[in-house]
Chain A
Amino acid sequence: MKVLVPVKRVIDYNVKVRVKSDGSGVDLNNVKMSMNPFDEIAVEEAIRLKEAGKVEEVIAVSIGVKQAQETLRTALAMGADRAILVVAADDVHQDIEPLAVAKILKGVVEQEQPGLVLCGKQAIDNDMNATGQMLAALLGWSQATFASKVEIEGDKARVTREVDGGLQTIAVAMPAVVTVDLRLNEPRYASLPNIMKAKKKPLDEKTAEDYGVDVSPRLEIVGTTEPAARKAGVMVGSVDELVDKLKNEAGVI
């Protein structure tokens, strides 16, 4: 069985984001970009499934600007076998919306015929949490979202999901789309020998047109603003004053 792992190039989680002056989005010039952390978890899980002998090949795919090939190299250095880059944008500020991504992924799935798509539950840039679900719908496949545990048993996947009330375990028929949550695993970092080996692994380049998908946006960004700045704290002189403030100003006790 092959596993397909879609990975997205996003602003690094350590970067303090800055909103562009025209409010059209976040400034991505000269900021560090990395693999979406949830996608890293998906890559790790795919590699573990391969190491456990459950799958034969791990294919990473990324859709976006050409620079996303760096993200794919990371996946290859972690242990993916090969990669597919679908160039769908020229400008780093152009985000491809989930539906277009899901449609392209559907095309990739039809070509590659994986038994499982493992993807991050959402990307940390726009927090859409939509691509995996849309892909499952377009393919008519089972879906299991927010996975904290994935077990492949024959033609079924047993997936433990993190839901509001606790954990829910479901069995879904394969092929399936599984979106992964934070606590599924701790992704490995690439060792130096593996970084060098990754340079020699195959990376195919395609375009959105190859899959006949129109990536023009359907959503309009009306505005982007930074969260309100935290107000400076105050020093209280005594415990009584603190209690008084908690009771009468904050109203929390």
Chain B
Amino acid sequence: MIETPRHEEEHVSEIRSAVRAICARYSEDYWKDLDATHGYPTEFVAELTESGFLGCLIPEEYGGAGLGLPEACAILEEVSRAGGHPGAAHAQMYVMGSVLRHGTAEQKQKYLPKVASGELRLQSFGVTEPTTGTDTTSLKTTARREGDTYVVNGQKVWISRVQHSDLMVLLARTKPIEQRSRKTDGLSAFIVDLRGAEERGLTVKPIDAMINHHSCELFFDDFEIPAENLLGTEHEGFRVVMDGMNAERILIAAECVGDGRYFVDKAVAYANDRVVFGRPIGQNQGVSFPIAKAYAKVEAASLMVDRAAALFAAGKPCGAEANMAKMLAAEASWEAGDTCLQTHGGFGISREYHIERKLRETRLYQIAPISTNLILSYVSEHVLGMPRSF
């Protein structure tokens, strides 16, 4: 393992060691078998929860560790660096942010301690729809107020971990699109209890996908939500969902850095060990240079992740950094993965070597939770002051 000297607080390196120790109990074969069977890492997630790591961002008064994004990033980076797929559990860390920032005192008291303990799994975000992905403000799923309930009708897609969640934060239209005063007006966020929801008008259809990400299509048919489950102000739900997005991007960037380091570690080890024509293949610069280049890019991305996480933790604006960190890290991990696979030659595509699985997993992050073009668009417009493109 290549250890980068990092200037982080002692407890962060302590966190890294502890997460590595947990991950060491779940071999890469564990993840390979889950991938093959579309299984969910129930035991791993339970252990990560019980040992307090998924409650990292929850304030101490609600039973969490009350730590910030740098610590959370370290946790997820180490999971992906160890060969795991933190995407199975990362949302338990940050979906609760919407409740924390916008929930009423009662909602926070009702949900957060149980999310911290793992008794309630709040790891689904119901936003994307088949016809509205990035243009969230045009979403069509409606929630109609009827007495003490909201009645939901519509469809969502790419909603991950629904089958492994007790609660979901849902974004739906509460005001017809023609009546909205501005683009973001008229959407509301809700805490949806998923337990038994399939008997109450929710249909969940898993999507067979390139990676084992447990993503589903959701169909709401007169699905009722108690009015008390409204999260934040009615019609102002866009903000409830959006202001957690920077945290999500930074955390996912940290996962990509972990993937990148995983690939570099593996590539270096193989390049040193594999002997062809009587010498290790790493002696050939055609093999070593791409690895060195990939390493440099992962390190650069890691610095941007650290900067974004530090800004977020300090409560400063970090939209540009969060976006750029996600883009740079996802590209760096992909390049490192591609290089790692190439270094391994034919063995690289053998599932036994885990590289192809990790490569598929890290590829997702150039698309989700926001695609690279949207990041470039954001940077062009908001950072560099060029004209808006859409």
Contacts and interface: CB of A to CB of B under 8 A. Distances in A.
The answer to whether A and B come from one shared complex is yes
Interface of A: 12, 14-16, 30-32, 34, 69-70, 73-74, 77, 189-193, 195-196, 198-199, 232
A192 B22 CA distance: 12
Contact of B14 (A16, A31, A74): A74
The residue in A32, A69, A70, A192 that gathers the most chain B C-beta atoms within 10 A of its C-beta is A192
B3 interface: yes
B65 A70 contact: no
Contacts, number: 61
Most buried by B among A32, A73, A189: A189
B109 interface: no
B275 A232 contact: yes
Given A14-B1, A30-B3, A31-B3, A189 B14 contact: no
B14 A70 contact: yes
Contacts of A34: 17
B1 A32 contact: yes
A30 B5 contact: yes
Given A15-B1, A232-B278, A193 B52 contact: yes
A191 to B, nearest CB: 4
B21 A189 contact: yes
A70 B13 contact: yes
Given A30-B5, A195-B14, A196-B67, 14 more contacts: A30-B3, A34-B17, A70-B10, A74-B14, A77-B14, A77-B18, A189-B18, A189-B51, A191-B53, A192-B18, A192-B55, A195-B15, A195-B18, A199-B10
Interface residues of B, number: 24
Contacts of A232: 275, 278
A191 B3 contact: no
B65 A193 contact: yes
A193 B54 CA distance: 11
Contacts of B316: none
B56 interface: yes
Interface in B19-39: 21-22
A14 B24 CA distance: 11
Contacts of A192: 15, 18, 51-53, 55-56, 65, 67
5 contacts: A190-B17, A192-B53, A195-B11, A195-B18, A232-B275
Contact of A15 (B3, B50, B51): B3
A191 B50 CA distance: 8
List the 9 closest A-B pairs by CB distance, nearest first.
A192-B52, A189-B21, A191-B51, A232-B275, A32-B3, A189-B18, A190-B18, A192-B65, A191-B52
A149 B13 CA distance: 32
Contacts of B13: 70
A30 B5 CA distance: 6
Nearest to B268: A16
Contacts of A189: 17-18, 21-22, 51
A73 B17 CA distance: 12
Interface string B1-12: 101110000110
Contacts of B10: 69-70, 73, 199
Contacts of A198: 11, 14
Nearest to B275: A232
Nearest to B23: A189
A114 B269 CA distance: 45
A73 B14 contact: yes
Interface in B283-309: none
Quick one: which of B13, B17, B269 has the most chain A CB within 10 A?
B17
Given A189-B18, A189-B21, A196 B11 contact: yes
A34 B17 CA distance: 8
A199 B11 contact: yes
B220 to A, nearest CB: 36
A34 to B, nearest CB: 7
Contacts of B3: 15, 30-32
B20 to A, nearest CB: 8
Nearest to A34: B17
B14 A190 contact: yes
B92 to A, nearest CB: 13
B33 to A, nearest CB: 23
Contacts of A74: 14, 17
A41 to B, nearest CB: 13
Contacts of A195: 11, 14-15, 18
Nearest to B9: A199
Interface in B79-94: none
Contacts of A14: 1
A192 B56 CA distance: 8
Task: Pick from B13, B18, B50 the residue with the most CB of A within 10 Å.
Answer: B18
Contacts of B4: 30
A190 B50 CA distance: 11
A103 B65 CA distance: 40
A230 to B, nearest CB: 9
